[in-house]
Structure 1
Amino acid sequence: MSWSLALTRLCGVFALGSAALLAHAADKGAPPTAVKPVTDRYGDLRVTDPYRWLEAGRDPAVKRWSAAQDHRTRGYLDHLPARQPMADWLMKQAAAGSSAYYDLHAAGGQLFALYNQPPRQQPMLAVMGQDADPAKARVVLDPNTLNPTGRTAIDWYVPSPTGKLVAVSMSENGSEDGSLHVIDVASGKTVDAVIPNVQYPTGGGSVAWRDDGSGFWYTRYPGADEPAERQHFHEQVWFHRIGDDPAKDVYVLGKDFPRVAEIALDARPGAPAVVVSVANGDGGEFAHYLIQQDGSTRQLTRFEDKIVAVAMGPDALYLISRQGAPRGKLLKLGLDDPTLAKAVTLVPESDAALEPGGEFGAANITLTKHALYLREIAGGPSRVAVYGLDGTPRGRVPLPEVATVDEVEPMDDGSLLVAVKTYLEPPRFVRIDEASGQSRPTALSQTSPVRFDDVEVVREFATSKDGTRVPLNIVRKKGVKLDGRHPLLLNGYGGYNVSLVPRFLGAATRLWLDAGGVYVIANLRGGGEFGETWHTQGALTNKQNVFDDFAASAQYLVDQGYTAPARMAAIGGSNGGLLMGASFTQHPELFRAVVSTVGLYDMLRVELDPNGAFNVTEFGSVKNPEQLKALYGYSPYHHVRAGAKYPAILMATGETDGRVNPMHSRKMVARLQAATGSARPVLLSINAHAGHGMGSSLSIRTNQTADIYAFLFDQLGMKYPAAQ
């Protein structure tokens, strides 16, 4: 039987099954959902979709259906005894912690930072001296004052070289649909015309100031005046002079870029040029350009060159190359004739990966007058290697064994501020003296009322279906007995070269552990934990490896006596939501409960959305026969089986999500509610004032966390710790 014929027959079974299942209404408490079959043809393949009508998010019938689903979910969650105490306690812990400073930028003898101070709903932009003393910090921009509802967020910011002005992108309701504001740092007032359409989830957004501060290069989308099929594509680079009408802004680059180009701009103080990084969608291909201070441009690398990051030094360019080095090597290229063929290898490939980070990698290369600091990742934990400008190794920045560093900011006094994060301690910045290599704590370090003195993190390895060893970061109370009785929450992602690195676990994990639970983070293929090979083994037609890794991780935890399927839950979001859908449709017997947020489920319809088109280089396209075969092979929506005993499921989405269309959650929930044979609930939570998660207010984030853990506690029979 040919593959196409086999899938045609299988799709017919699914379509008939979905229609018939309405008669016995498997999830008895679910609102009724009409079946309106639509059949698509992909070459010889016919696929019938029973819930296509739920894709029309603005249709009044869909809005009524969504409201009914959310009402049902709220009725369940709000009546759980633990739900409100959890929300109150989580908010109390957030308010009791110290302020958090992050995304540092040194400019004009000052230090800028985003600044989070619960119970304020949104982070603010602050400025302080080079001594990095938060007691002397001053708020430059407070979105909480601009919008007391907490629905206005800062997407990103870039200070001018003198530190007198700062360009800030802001958006509403978690949409990430940003407009650019130029703020006078001294007064906090907007001093230039607001520029719309500079930021969107499809390709992000960016700014690079001219060295004299008279203007800046910025990213721009076609905007609302263009046809819908162009509005969130064709990102370009334009130049704006301070004081000019944005209508007079000058086009610089981008008309010949791919439709799904994602552009990042990087200007180093005193550098002769701006580096423009162009991603070809989300699959990991990059091209790079230079913009001279006079506005002239030059292409530096092409997609096929496998250069994934470029940083500008005072007299040379530094490039991370994966050409013949899947974990990455560092090249050096002179500025007198920046032809890639003339680049020399400065730091060869090592046992750790030089991964792109920040805006396409430049943030992972920190240059000072005396040294290079390269952030490396080794299976999850990261380290910072130090080299002389000639490539001579100078050791590493001292860090805890299981930690990550996501910021290294050079200061004018010859020191560096390094952000250190671990699972069990609040984030902290240490100051490294370049001359001596000595480090000391700073007042930017956070404190938390939540402590983990009685907790440990152990790294163990599961063996996947094909023999690949998959790292597991197991967070457990010291002395835990491996008797198979613990509630266990397994988290994973596995995509886009994104690595799950150590992050402070915080109050919700403390609740979980105090209730007898174990928490596990799996470093699956598809991420960047071991370099590009690890990523490609979980992308495109290899995506099934990710789901096999996760299933093997779950089975390992059972086999080792941590838990049992009846006591195990899984959680993931976005690409991790796809992981959840594939995992519980392929292995419903492994989990008792699953939380899946802002996930992808109908893999045959992903590329029809604006951001979905950017995902083709990661997932593949239905237009490619082999990729179609792989997509259909794991697509969660198409593998829901009538009568299967699915776990209890909580899905959450946001109406303003520009990254993953909420229709995925609507359709998947409808199909599961019709099919499940377990009598466990399939719930959908929909927030009208949230998107993919970026820019959500503190209250939204806290209440969503309380929803998730109250659901898990209820389904796994856990007791809310009374001592809390």
Structure 2
Amino acid sequence: MRFAALAATTLAALVLAACSSTSTTTVTASSPTMTGEDPYLWLEDIEGDRALSWVREQNARSLPQLENDPRFGQLLTDATALANSRDRLPTGGIFEGYYYNFWQDEQHVRGIYRRARLDAFARDGNPQWETVLDIDAIAAAENANWVFKGIDCLEGTTLCLVSLSDGGKDATTYREYDIATRSFVPNGFVLPEAKSGATWLDHNTLIVATDWGAGTMTESGYPFVVKRWTRGTPLSSATEIMRGAVTDVGVFGGVLQDTDGHRVPIAVQATTFFESTNFRLDGASPQRINLPPKSSIQGVYRGFLIATLQEEWRGHPQGALIAYPLSESGSETPNVTVLFAPNARQSIEGVSITHDAIIVAGYENVRGRLLRIARNGNTWATTNIALPENGSVTMAGSSPTESQAFAVFEDFLTPDTLYALDQNATRARALRSLPAQFDSSPYVSEQYEAVSADGTRVPYFVLRRRDMPFNGENPTLLYAYGGFQVSYTPTYSPNVGKLWLDRGGVYVLANIRGGGEFGPAWHQAGLRTHRQVIYDDFYAVERDLVERRITTPRRLGIMGGSNGGLLMGVMLNQHPEMINAAVVQVPLLDMLRYDQLLAGASWVDEYGSPSNREERAFLETITPYQNLRRRDDFPLPLVVTSTKDDRVHPGHARKYVARLLELGMPVLYYENIDGGHAAAANLNEAARRRSLEYTYLMQRLMD
């Protein structure tokens, strides 16, 4: 309901059998790599009749080979029960004396938005809830496939902006909603479907960035014109505040709220995915906020602007958390204080602001920790907030106008525990823990390190049975992401436990470069033409698992989605001999055209540009689609995507599978006709996808 790291949130928001089965796809002789014109461009026509006919044909070819497996039915039963389980912590956000939570279960498949009194929630985390918004009821009444994408409410009123997506797409519609009447406001604010951003300026005014018509969206598909829209007037009459450029990733509006309730409207001009310029909008014209391009505003605390640095700035270290007076935001020489500077094995994952303190969630050697930073008089004081060790910690609700905050701790074998962070407390107070959703007593989690090609030590976690024999015959699933400074840390996954561990599998999580586990330097080591280090890291973990006799290539499978799907595609080409299974989820695979597909242009700062000669030369060496060739050591992959994914174009997965079939190579394919970038529009669809994936993994690694 308030601004925090807006650009990152918006963007980030803003990722089984041989082909001899019945299929009408033509199989021709292979060539070493694809050359000339792409013969499968027609599969990029997302909703085209020919393309969707091909999708249905591939689903019909592949799904029976999984769903007819005798294990699939029980997997689906277990996965559905887990997806709809009420044994989940009700995490959310704080707003004007209430704790808000979005909740899904078997009765509320699409979900309800609900609230409880903050003091009641802080007692034991199990208060009496009242429903504010029922997405299932709205979808049924409007015969629509609505997916809830968020809500923004204006302080001092009962008015909110509800963001709804058709089938899970990133593009949404905004509609004004009154939580007092539990209804949409007649003749209220409504933004048509687009990749938009909207926030309250005051009761009668919105700050809007949307598709204003021809020439107002960036090459990445996001808005770059921000306008002020007044109640009771048509959207077309909105007054322009500022604009960026068509070459930007996008321009987005937001509001910074201080601990005294003072609100400052701002705009973030994301010039690239990782670089931005911030502007205050509370003056006669936009005023630039003095921060380096690679930084993120985290909020305002007692008149101080709080930000994190992804690059060294004015002698202040990369990765640091800084503060300076908001009144000096336009100064060329603001009085900057470094509040916390992580070392090479530490990171800042999240920053939350309460009325009394700044709470920093971070990691040390991929193990979670919480810091409390407060200003006392003219000095800053930092203390540790005591929590269990060797797990993950995430914030679960805070507000700059409330003293109370909440956090969640978990590890691979410990169910989520909700903690209250009380005013001035240096020890978190446990409120409630989830009951175990699988018996963890037979298992142990361990952290190892592999040595990459350049000597870098790459940590990874192994989750296994205590009595597992180190004989190289253990069915092992290796998961990684490796991009966009996204960290993957120890988390409690009932799906991994119930669907994989309990059925005899070993689970491995690799913290390869490209992620944020060790801060911005760990991420930036694999940018653009340096990306091969990410794949070398993953290969090093594969080899280390074999050398430790945890598994062998016959029993090793890999999984990754979105950028992790690209990782899967690269590893299938570079080291197919290391694995016998690969789950390739909502992937990027055509790296010579990715920047022309949906949000792809926004990722050039991560991958490099196919239009740049040097960067294209590198992309040509890794692009999974174009580098496919017929080979006997290529394992049977499962490729999963969604028609409604408007972030990573489903054409990536479609063309890749079509090329494999052309080469006479084995592949299975599942495209969810609904679902967004998560390839599932609701809980039951997500459970079905997981069941298909684990059935495939059992066929490949256990049989």
2:257 to 250, 262, 268: 268
Alignment of 1:392-411 (within 5 A): 392-410=381-399
Determine the C-alpha separation between the residues in 1 that align with 2:380 and 2:406. 22
Task: Show the counterpart of 2:615.
Answer: 627
Provide the residue aligned with 2:11 in structure 1: none
Distance 2:105 2:67 in 1: 27
CA distance in 2, matches of 1:134, 1:559: 47
* Offset at residue 510 of structure 1 (A): 2.3
Matches of 2:28 and 2:192, distance apart in 1: 37
Q: Does 1:286 align with 2:276?
A: yes
Residue number in structure 2 paired with 1:709: 694
**Aligned residue type for 2:176:** V
Per-residue Cα deviation, 1:328-376 (whole angstroms, up to 9, x for no partner): 122222233322521313325222688676xxxxxx3333344322222
SS at match of 1:101: coil
How far apart are residue 606 of structure 1 and its match?
0.5
Which segment is superposed worse, 267-276 or 524-533? 267-276
- 1:371–1:388: 8 Å Cα contact kept in structure 2? yes
How is 1:550-699 mapped onto 2 (pairs within 5 angstroms)? 550-675=538-663, 681-693=666-678, 696-699=681-684
For residue 10 of structure 1, what is the aligned residue in structure 2?
none
Structure 2 equivalent of residue 16 of structure 1: none
1:442 match: secondary structure? strand
Amino acid at match of 1:342: P
Q: Find the aligned partners of 1:257 and 1:379 in 2 and give their Cα distance.
A: 40
Structure 2 counterpart of 1:27: 19
Rate the CA distance shift 1:551–1:558 in 2: closer, same or farther, 3 A: same
- CA shift, 1:257, in A, is 7.2
**Cα pair 2:110 2:147 within 8 Å, conserved:** yes
Say whether 1:307 aligns with 2:309: no
Structure 1 Cα separation of the partners of residues 345 and 544 of structure 2: 26
TM-aligned CA deviation for residue 712 of structure 1? 1.0
**Aligned equivalents of 2:219, 2:190: Cα separation in 1:** 18
* Secondary structure of the structure 2 residue equivalent to 1:480: coil
Deviation at 1:220, TM superposition (A): 1.9
Give, in angstroms, the shift of residue 86 of structure 1.
Answer: 0.9
1:482 and 2:465 are equivalent in the alignment: no
Q: Tell me the percent identity.
A: 25
Name the aligned partner's letter for residue 419 of structure 2. Answer: V
Structure 1, 253-262 or 512-521: larger mean CA deviation: 253-262
TM-superposed CA distance for 1:80, in Å, is: 0.9
What amino acid is the match of 1:669? V
- Flag the 1:436–1:478 CA change in 2: closer, same or farther, 3 A: same
Match of 1:515 in 2: 503
Q: Which amino acid aligns with 1:488?
A: T
Deviation for aligned residue 1:112? 1.9
For residue 333 of structure 1, what is the aligned residue in structure 2? 324
Query: Which segment drifts farther, 178-187 or 574-583?
Result: 178-187
- Per the TM alignment, residue 612 of structure 1 is displaced from its structure 2 partner at its CA by 0.8
1:536 aligns with 2:524: yes
**Alpha-carbon shift at residue 98 of structure 1 (Å):** 2.5
Q: CA RMSD in A?
A: 2.9
Residue identity in the other structure for 1:335? L
Residues of 2 paired with 1:447 and 1:412: CA distance?
33
Q: Specify every segment of 5 or more residues in structure 1 that has no aligned partner in the other structure, as ranges.
A: 1-24, 40-44, 358-363, 719-724
What is the aligned counterpart of 2:417 among 428, 431, 435? 428
Could you say which residue in structure 2 is the equivalent of 1:161? 155
Partner letter of residue 81 of structure 2? K
* Counterpart Cα distance in 1 of 2:674 and 2:161: 25
- Post-superposition shift, 1:396? 3.4
Q: What aligned pairs does 1:190-589 form with structure 2 within 5 A after superposition?
A: 190-191=184-185, 192-197=187-192, 200=195, 205-210=196-201, 213-222=203-212, 232-256=221-245, 258-261=247-250, 263=252, 265-268=254-257, 270-282=261-273, 284-292=274-282, 296-301=285-290, 305-324=293-312, 327-338=318-329, 339-351=331-343, 364-389=350-375, 390-410=379-399, 414-442=403-431, 446-589=434-577
What is the one-letter code of the residue matched to 2:670?
S
Name the stretch that deviates more: 569-578 or 145-154: 145-154
Count of residues in correspondence between the two structures: 668
Could you tell me the TM-score, scaled by structure 1's length?
0.85
Partner of 2:4: none
Shift of 1:377: 3.0
Which residue is 1:17 aligned to? Answer: none
| Residue identity opposite 2:161 in structure 1 | A
Bigger Cα displacement from structure 2, 158-167 vs 348-357: 348-357
* Larger displacement relative to structure 2 (145-154 or 381-390): 145-154
Give the whole-Å Cα distance in 2 for the aligned partners of 1:209 and 1:147: 25
1:3 match:
none
- Contact kept in structure 2, 1:94 and 1:119, CA below 8 Å: no
The answer to which structure, 1 or 2, has the higher relative contact order (CA under 8 A, 6+ apart) is 2
Letter in 2 for 1:52: L
1:179–1:717 CA distance, 2 compared to 1 (3 A): same
Answer whether contact 1:482 1:562 (CA < 8 A) is retained.
yes
Q: 1:322, CA displacement in angstroms? A: 3.5
Alignment equivalent of 2:87, drawn from 78, 98, 107: 98
User: d(CA) in 1 for partners of 2:332 and 2:664?
Assistant: 57
SS at 1:576 equivalent: helix
Pairwise CA distance, 1:88: 1.3
Cα distance change of structure 1 residues 95 and 368 upon mapping to structure 2, 3 Å threshold: closer
Letter in 1 for 2:515: G
TM-score, length-normalised on structure 2? 0.88
Give the distance between the partners of 2:344 and 2:370, measured in 1 at CA.
Answer: 11
Matches within 5 A, 1:79-118: 79-104=68-93, 106-118=94-106
In structure 1, the residue matched to 2:129 is: 137
Residue by residue, what CA displacement relative to the aligned partner does 1:51-85 show, whole Å, maximum 9, x if unpaired? Answer: 33433344433332222111101221221111122
Alignment check: 8 A CA contact 1:601 1:668 kept: yes
SS at match of 1:136: coil
- Structure 1 residues 167 and 57: CA distance shift in structure 2, 3 A: closer
Q: Secondary structure at the match of 2:540?
A: helix
2:135 is matched by which residue type in structure 1?
P
Cα deviation for residue 189 of structure 1 reads 0.6
1:463 is displaced (CA, Å) by 0.9
Distance between the aligned counterparts of 1:176 and 1:84, measured in 2?
32
Q: Offset at 1:517? A: 0.9
Contact 1:80 1:710 in 2 (8 A): yes
Corresponding residue number in structure 2 for 1:722:
none
Distance 1:700 1:455, change over 3 A: same
CA-to-aligned-CA distance 1:626-668 (integer Å, 9 cap, x gap): 1011101111112212233211111011111111111111111
Q: Is the 8 A contact 2:355 2:401 kept in 1?
A: no
AA aligned opposite 1:518: V
Against the structure 1 CA distance between its residues 584 and 522, is the aligned structure 2 distance closer, same or farther, given a 3 Å change threshold? Answer: same
Matched with 1:7 is none
Distance 1:70 1:340, change over 3 A: farther
Q: For 1:30 and 1:634, locate their aligned partners in 2 and report how far apart those are by CA, in whole Å.
A: 31
Query: Do the aligned residues in 2 keep the contact of 1:159 with 1:167 (CA within 8 Å)?
Result: yes
Q: What does 1:18-97 correspond to in 2, within 5 Å?
A: 27-29=19-21, 31-34=23-26, 47-97=36-86
How far did 1:262 drift? 5.2
Give yes or no for the alignment of 1:174 onto 2:168. yes
User: In the alignment, residue 478 of structure 2 is paired with which amino acid?
Assistant: L
After superposition, the Cα gap between the structure-2 partners of 1:412 and 1:637, relative to the gap in structure 1 and judged at 3 Å, is closer
Is the 8 Å Cα contact of residues 219 and 238 (structure 1) preserved in structure 2?
Answer: yes
Report the AA paired with residue 78 of structure 1. Answer: E
Q: Which amino acid counterpart does residue 291 of structure 1 have in structure 2?
A: L
Residues 437 and 118 (structure 1), Cα distance of their counterparts in 2 relative to 1, 3 Å cut: farther
Distance in 1 between the 2:419 and 2:193 partners? 34
